[in-house]
Amino acid sequence: MGEGSGIPARLGILPFRNKVLLPGAIVRVECTSASSVKLVEQELWQKEEKGLIGVLPVRDGGSGLSLGTDSEDPSLNASEDVLDFPKRDDGSEEEPIRWHNRGVAARALHLSRGVEKPNGKVTYSVVLEGVCRISVQKLSAAGTYCLGDVSHLDMTRPDIEKAEKDPDIMLLSHQFKAAALQLISVLEKKQKAIGRAKSLVETVPVHRLADIFVASFEISFEEQLSVLDCVDLKARILKATELVGRHLQSIRVAEKITQKVEGQLSKSQKEFLLRQQMRAIRDELGDGEDDEDDVVALERKVQTAGMPPNVSKQAQKELRRLQRMQPQQPGYNSSHAYLELLADLPWQKASEECVLNLEVAKERLDCEHYGLTKVKQRIIEYLAVHKLKPDAQGPVLCFVGPPGVGKTSLASSIATALNRKFVRISLGGVKDEADIRGHRRTYIGSMPGRLIEGLRRAGVHNPVILLDEIDKVGADISGDPASALLEVLDPQQNKAFTDHYLNVPFDLSKVIFVATANEAQPIPPPLLDRMEVIELAGYTPEEKLKIAMHHLVPGVLERHGLNSDLLKIPKEIVMLIIQHYTREAGVRNLERNLSAIARAVAVRVAEKEYGAQLCNNVQPMTSSFLNAHCGCGVELEMDDISMVDRRTIPNALKNNSKIVLDEVMLEKVLGPPKFDDRETAERVATPGVSVGLVWTPFGGDVQFIEATAMAGKGHLHLTGQLGDVIKESAQIALTWVRARTTDPIDAGNINLLDGQDIHIHFPAGAVPKDGPSAGVTLVTSLVSLFSRKNVRADTAMTGEVSLRGLVLAVGGIKDKVLAAHRYGIKRVIIPERNLKDLVEVPSSILVDVEVLFAKRIEDVLEQAFEGGNPWKQQSRL
């Protein structure tokens, strides 16, 4: 027999519960049960030579698993043993035990007997080494333990030698050894005690090495059994390679997981440590608490801001960044400011809209604004649509008109009617797209755009936002703000408006936008296309008077701590202010003048108040009285005078101190009248001056045109604030006049233009002018110059002239007539085609201003000069 040739045919059997001893493996067994003690005593202790026993794996019968590869022999179940290894700790000793029919013959390497207990029991500790595989054919009882009829199972030495030369086995054993070495190196890295493992691999023959290696792993009972059952060498090496590989794999996976966990742990631990240190340093410096609280407060704010998930994610990311930073670190402040903005923005908050009552809204509009019937009607329509369909994407209302006509206050009234917050964003002079859309955060000093800033101020996401002076938006190399506004006003796009600074979309669709402009023409067409233009013209003096008496005066008095008991401003005086201190389309300057008066009166009232206090606190005494009493050493007795309550002063002054504003006081406060009707007469006193009516963003205005001639080469000189169009207009006017003054027939009379330079000046104060009008006025001025006849001082004109002498229609007739009225001009010549526009002019104005019509320039000249066209007789004009 080969390796196991010394195995006897019968061996005492030691059962191993749910455990396998493999050949080459060494185990220590504590024998405490009666059967195992008996077995050890009989088979090992009492024998002189170290004996052999059989070790058979057993498992609890309840599992129902088939044990062993051979068919089960009923006789194998005949005996039952009480196990002492491994110990049964579940108290199920009585359960049936099923023996495996293959086991290992084991040699006792060491035996020791425990101290005898008082009850006479002894125990043994045995170190066993597996020798070879055995097969158990039969079990029989020998007292309390079992004896088994066994036969040797492993290969014989010649078989092994032969097998070792088999190329397959050689290859397999090579693979196995490689895997084993790999495992050893992994274990080495983990600094596990691997002892002689490496030399074992090199020296021990592979058929033993497979068993030894497998025995050193913690593998399941089934796997141990399967190795035990691998009698065939090839199968055993394969199995062992598989198990070594698996073990290696599991170690690596475990290592990876550990590394990951350790990495995370150490990172957070490191962070924690650093934080602690940071806090300690800050405490030491005495400036820590605020910052800490600040970040914590910010975190709380971010959490309660109601951000949508994507925004919240971004905020959390930024917050983590901020938490890792020192307040002194660059970027801390910008990160903090960014998070503040994110937390402040009204992602969820909205103004509670009250049920809209159109009657109330109408009353409110009427109460806050005088006149403006059509505009108010349109606003009511807008509100009605909003009431029926709150999410309707109606047009953006754009109020267009001169300054001070109530555009802003109308927009604010819309917000009041809807019970929404009102935000005014001034777009005047905005040239950079970043003003609307914000700067990217990469820029130093970057800020959000005005819209996002406005929403932050509003604190709700559904305010009424007034885009004030939308016509003043410009464009330069920094981009075109108008195109950004296009996105803002487009209901399709503004749902996800992205400010560059914010870098996350914000929904603007709930915002109601209203715009204002002084003129519609500069607004880029695509932007204008998204808006509904509502024009507001200037006011007549009567309208201004009513606005002043009902709205401006009460407001001004209130703002200056006055009331109508202290200051009375009569109608007539207000009218004087309108006529002689203002010359505007709106009421802004009127309000300013009224404020100046109120301030002056406030000073007087305050002085009186102080005087009254003095009077009431100090008993007035004459010096003779004082001298008389003090001089003779008599103690002075004073009456106890009660203090006058400050609030009673106005009442005290009520009857005798009411200030009524009169002309004298008006002049004292506002100075001498700034405007009077004589201005026109004075200016047209010399030939060559005519009075035109023009339309400007400030409403209608009067434009004086002065022409003069001098020796030269027939050139035309133009001065004043002029645009290209009016330059053309001047050229046309001159050509028209020249064409009619160089008539060969009349040449003798009108050779004035030959060898003369003409200088036309649009005097200072003239409004920047680039419209196509003023042609008629230019011709009249030239005719006045050449005929040396003055234009009528009470007459102003408007209209464009064609080369063929036709007077062409112009716009803004209402504003122009109003402007003429402001200047005290009594006659206005307008193109015949503008007749229809007169319906807009209030009749109160038409009572004062006579409107004349002209079809051809001859009609204008006929009406503009006293006694008709001055060149009628001299030329073909």
Ligand X SMILES: Nc1ncnc2c1ncn2[C@@H]1O[C@H](COP(=O)(O)OP(=O)(O)OP(=O)(O)O)[C@@H](O)[C@H]1O
Show binding-site residues: 401-408
Q: Tell me the per-residue interface mask from 702 to 731 with ligand X, x by CB under 6 A, - otherwise.
A: ------------------------------
**Contacting residue, 176, 338, 370, 695, with ligand X by CB under 6 A:** 370
Binding to ligand X (CB under 6 A) within 564-593 occurs at 586-588, 591
Contact of 441 with 407, CB cutoff 8 Å: no
Q: Tell me the per-residue interface mask from 372 to 391 with ligand X, x by CB under 6 A, - otherwise.
A: x-------------------
Residues 6+ apart with CB under 8 A from 290: none
Q: Which amino acid is at 132?
A: C
Structure tokens at 683: 């200016």
CB-wise, 420 or 551, nearer to ligand X? 551
Does the N-terminal peptide bond of residue 831 adopt cis geometry, omega within 30 degrees of 0? Answer: no
Catalytically active residues are 773, 816
Alpha-carbon torsion (716, 717, 723, 726), positive or negative:
negative
**Contacting residue, 139, 169, 405, 566, with ligand X by CB under 6 A:** 405
Structure tokens at 48: 């002189």
CB-wise, 340 or 542, nearer to ligand X? 542
Structure tokens at 58: 């057993």
Q: Which stretch binds ligand X (CB under 6 A): 97-105, 347-355, 400-408, 416-424?
A: 400-408
* Beta carbon of residue 542, minimum distance to ligand X (angstroms, whole number): 12
Q: Which stretch binds ligand X (CB under 6 A): 29-37, 368-376, 736-744, 857-865?
A: 368-376
Q: What share of the chain is helix, strand, coil (3-state, %, to 5)?
A: 45, 20, 35
For position 775 contacting ligand X by CB under 6 A, the verdict is no
Contact of 776 with 801, CB cutoff 8 Å: yes
**Contacting residue, 23, 404, 699, 831, with ligand X by CB under 6 A:** 404
Q: What is the DSSP string of 419-436?
A: T--EEEEE-TT---HHHH
**Contacting residue, 15, 23, 24, 403, with ligand X by CB under 6 A:** 403
* Beta carbon of residue 280, minimum distance to ligand X (angstroms, whole number): 57
* Beta carbon of residue 748, minimum distance to ligand X (angstroms, whole number): 56
Residue 854, strand partner residues: 831
| Rounded (10°) angle between helices 233-285 and 288-303 | 120
Alpha-carbon torsion (806, 809, 813, 816), positive or negative:
negative
**Contacting residue, 15, 371, 650, 687, with ligand X by CB under 6 A:** 371
Binding to ligand X (CB under 6 A) within 453-472 occurs at none
Binding to ligand X (CB under 6 A) within 583-642 occurs at 586-588, 591
CB-wise, 40 or 517, nearer to ligand X? 517
Distance (Å, whole) CA 767 – CA 762:
9
* Beta carbon of residue 544, minimum distance to ligand X (angstroms, whole number): 9
**Contacting residue, 406, 700, 775, 831, with ligand X by CB under 6 A:** 406
* Beta carbon of residue 382, minimum distance to ligand X (angstroms, whole number): 17
- DSSP one-letter code for 352: P
CB-wise, 53 or 405, nearer to ligand X? 405
Contact of 660 with 565, CB cutoff 8 Å: no
* Three-class SS of 137-169: EEEEEECCEEEEEEEECCCCHHHHHHHHHCHHH
CB-wise, 408 or 795, nearer to ligand X? 408
Q: Are strands 827-831 and 659-660 parallel, antiparallel or unpaired?
A: unpaired
Q: Which stretch binds ligand X (CB under 6 A): 307-315, 406-414, 453-461, 847-855?
A: 406-414
Q: Which stretch binds ligand X (CB under 6 A): 204-212, 398-406, 478-486, 858-866?
A: 398-406
What number of chain residues touch ligand X (CB under 6 A)? Answer: 19
| Rounded (10°) angle between helices 221-229 and 233-285 | 150
Q: Which stretch binds ligand X (CB under 6 A): 67-75, 149-157, 399-407, 680-688?
A: 399-407
Q: Tell me the per-residue interface mask from 526 to 565 with ligand X, x by CB under 6 A, - otherwise.
A: ---------------------x---x--------------
For position 424 contacting ligand X by CB under 6 A, the verdict is no
CB-wise, 155 or 372, nearer to ligand X? 372
Q: Which stretch binds ligand X (CB under 6 A): 186-194, 365-373, 772-780, 842-850?
A: 365-373
Show binding-site residues for ATP: 401-408
CB-wise, 446 or 595, nearer to ligand X? 595
What are the residue ranges of helices labelled H in 742-850? 775-787, 813-822, 843-848
Residues 6+ apart with CB under 8 A from 54: 11, 12, 13, 14, 103, 104, 105, 106, 134, 136, 148, 150
Residues 6+ apart with CB under 8 A from 550: 370
Structure tokens at 198: 């490496």
Structure tokens at 665: 């006081």
> Side-chain half-sphere of 366: how many Cα atoms within 13 Å?
7
Binding to ligand X (CB under 6 A) within 816-855 occurs at none
Q: Which stretch binds ligand X (CB under 6 A): 305-313, 405-413, 650-658, 845-853?
A: 405-413
**Contacting residue, 236, 336, 376, 407, with ligand X by CB under 6 A:** 407
Chain centre distance of CA 299: 16
**Contacting residue, 100, 208, 239, 369, with ligand X by CB under 6 A:** 369
* Beta carbon of residue 594, minimum distance to ligand X (angstroms, whole number): 10
* Beta carbon of residue 735, minimum distance to ligand X (angstroms, whole number): 39
| Rounded (10°) angle between helices 206-215 and 233-285 | 40
Distance (Å, whole) CA 851 – CA 864:
12
CB-wise, 518 or 690, nearer to ligand X? 518
CB-wise, 494 or 518, nearer to ligand X? 518
Distance (Å, whole) CA 857 – CA 502:
61
| Rounded (10°) angle between helices 288-303 and 309-324 | 170
* Beta carbon of residue 586, minimum distance to ligand X (angstroms, whole number): 6
Question: Per-residue b/e over 676-694, b at no fewer than 16 CB within 10 Å?
Answer: eeeebeebbeebbbbbbbb
CB-wise, 370 or 786, nearer to ligand X? 370
State the residue number with the nearest CB to ligand X: 406
CB-wise, 154 or 469, nearer to ligand X? 469
For position 409 contacting ligand X by CB under 6 A, the verdict is yes
Which stretches does DSSP call E strand in 439-507? 464-468, 497-498, 505-506
Structure tokens at 129: 């080494």
* Beta carbon of residue 664, minimum distance to ligand X (angstroms, whole number): 27
Binding to ligand X (CB under 6 A) within 502-521 occurs at 516, 518
Distance (Å, whole) CA 820 – CA 679:
12
CB-wise, 173 or 516, nearer to ligand X? 516
* Beta carbon of residue 513, minimum distance to ligand X (angstroms, whole number): 16
* Beta carbon of residue 824, minimum distance to ligand X (angstroms, whole number): 23
Q: What is the DSSP string of 594-649?
A: HHHHHHHHHHHHHHHHHHHHHHHHS----HHHHHHHHHTTPPPP---PPPPPGGGH
| CA nearest to 771, candidates 696, 720, 860, 706 | 696
* Beta carbon of residue 692, minimum distance to ligand X (angstroms, whole number): 24
Q: Name the CA radius of gyration of the chain, rounded.
A: 55
Query: Residues interacting with ligand X, by CB under 6 A?
Result: 369-372, 403-409, 516, 518, 547, 551, 586-588, 591
